[in-house]
Copies of this chain bind each other. A is one copy, B any other.
């Protein structure tokens, strides 16, 4: 972890790691929480293996769609999930800057650790340079990923 290049969201949440894992790895759950409202996530494809596709479509309140394509890198059930938008399915390098909604590459790791009956949840997002990190912070990384996590917890609690 490099504080000049990375962004981190760390929280204790009151759902266990097994449910955080399901929320992140099953499309029917991802669609419920992935994008802070009033945005929505009408599409999600997950091929859960290193080299597998992770694709979502985010829809703005005006109805404009923003597809995001990425590739899973680490799949450790209930512990750690890593993916990047610098690669597509089968580890192929991505064609170019992703979309106007996410104009830089990053690699994200979600760490899940048991914490009482809940989870210590740590999202580490790695960027290629300080400019990309600053851009992501300005676009509201902490607010956005935090609000999505609140939605995840509300959706999964008690399941």
The chain A residues found within 8 Å of chain B, CB to CB, are 5, 50-51, 73-74, 82, 84, 86-87, 90-96, 105-107, 109, 126-129, 132
Contact present for A82 and B91 (CB under 8 Å)? yes
Whole-angstrom distance between the Cβ of A136 and the nearest chain B Cβ: 12
Complex Cα distance, B90 from A109, in Å, reads: 10
Contact present for A128 and B91 (CB under 8 Å)? no
Contact present for B96 and A91 (CB under 8 Å)? no
Whole-angstrom distance between the Cβ of A87 and the nearest chain B Cβ: 6
Contact present for B87 and A129 (CB under 8 Å)? no
- Known pairs A93-B105, A107-B91, A128-B95; A74 contacts B86 (CB<8 A): no
Residue on B nearest A105 in the bound complex, by CB? B93
30 A-B pairs with C-beta separation under 8 A:
A5-B92, A50-B50, A50-B73, A50-B74, A51-B73, A51-B74, A51-B82, A73-B73, A74-B91, A82-B91, A84-B87, A84-B91, A86-B93, A86-B94, A87-B87, A87-B107, A90-B126, A91-B107, A91-B126, A92-B107, A92-B127, A92-B128, A93-B105, A93-B107, A93-B126, A93-B127, A94-B128, A95-B128, A95-B129, A96-B128
